């Protein structure tokens, strides 16, 4: 057999041996790509080989989610609530200030637009300004109340009608001031209208000046010290002789003498001139 024949025979035997090995190999397992993408990452190692590198499976990207709904801005809600809170305090404060100004005969402060405060800080500044004005007016109202009640007590003493007691402790500042104004108007109306005013003005016409200081008689209806002390003792003690009294105070002192039973006889001559006796 020639060398060429030997080479060809060896090549045929090699091809036949490779085909036999391929037929004996186990079939390849199918791969599930879907399962691999959805499973979490798992690290495995070969227990027989400690040096083998770990095998890592990369998970697939999660499915996109829908965007959340747009919610109101919390800061805007807080701002609106603060402005509303300031407005609930501003409205009654401004109303009280205007009421006090009306009672006291003062010019009414411009209120501005309370429905457009701008910001909570601007609203607080306006509220603070109104609260300061309210405190000042309440203090002035208390002072005026005391002054009005002092005048009421004075007029009642001069007229001899006694003092008036008002339960002010159970009242607010506004109520006390309103009550004092009402009482002052009533008492002053009586004080300005003595019952024998015309008759005493006629006597005064013949007697002298309201500021006459000539002893032993003083004032417009010529009262001596005994007369002043008996019928106007409080005035004599607090203001001095009758020439320091107002005309109405002198007239009311004379009214006390007239209604005590003496009539117009303390002025015998001038009362006759006036046709009173």
For 60-103, the pLDDT digits (tens) are 556 666 655 555 556 677 778 888 888 899 999 999 999 999 98
**Residue pointed to by tokens 């020639």:** 2
Tokens of 121: 């800080």
The phi-psi region of residue 159 (left if phi > 0; otherwise alpha if psi is between -120 and 50; otherwise beta) is alpha
pTM for the structure as a whole: 0.65
Q: Facing residues of 218 across strands?
A: 223
> Helix, strand or coil for residue 216?
coil
For 137-175, the pLDDT digits (tens) are 999 999 999 999 999 999 999 999 877 787 878 888 889
Pick 196-273's CATH classification: 2.20.25.90, 3.50.50.60, 1.10.530.10, 3.60.21.10: 1.10.530.10
Domain boundaries, the chain: 74-189, 196-273
Cβ atoms within 10 Å, residue 80: 11
């Amino acid at each position: 057999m020639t060398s060429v024949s030997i080479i060809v025979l060896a090549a045929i035997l090699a091809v036949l041996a490779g085909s036999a090995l391929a037929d004996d190999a186990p079939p390849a397992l199918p791969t599930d790509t879907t399962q691999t993408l959805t499973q979490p990452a798992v690290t495995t190692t070969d227990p027989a080989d400690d040096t083998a590198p770990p095998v890592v499976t990369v998970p697939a990207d999660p499915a996109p989610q829908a965007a959340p709904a747009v919610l109101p801005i919390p800061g805007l809600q807080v701002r609106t609530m603060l402005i509303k809170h300031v407005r609930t305090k501003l409205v009654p404060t401004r109303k009280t200030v205007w009421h006090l100004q009306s009672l006291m005969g003062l010019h009414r402060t411009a209120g501005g637009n309370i429905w457009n405060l701008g910001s909570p800080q601007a609203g607080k500044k306006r509220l603070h300004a109104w609260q300061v004005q309210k405190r000042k007016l309440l203090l002035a109202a208390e002072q005026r109340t005391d002054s009005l009640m002092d005048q009421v007590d004075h007029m009642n003493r001069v007229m001899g009608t006694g003092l008036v007691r008002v339960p002010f402790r159970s009242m607010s500042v506004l109520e006390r001031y309103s009550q004092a104004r009402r009482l002052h108007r009533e008492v002053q109306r009586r004080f300005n209208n003595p019952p024998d005013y015309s008759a005493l003005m006629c006597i005064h016409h013949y007697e002298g000046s309201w500021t006459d200081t000539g002893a032993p008689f003083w004032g417009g209806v010529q009262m001596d010290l005994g007369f002043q002390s008996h019928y106007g003792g409080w005035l004599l003690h607090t203001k001095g002789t009758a020439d320091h009294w107002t005309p109405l105070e002198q007239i009311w002192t004379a009214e006390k003498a007239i209604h005590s039973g003496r009539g117009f006889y303390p002025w015998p001559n001038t009362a006759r001139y006036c046709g009173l006796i």
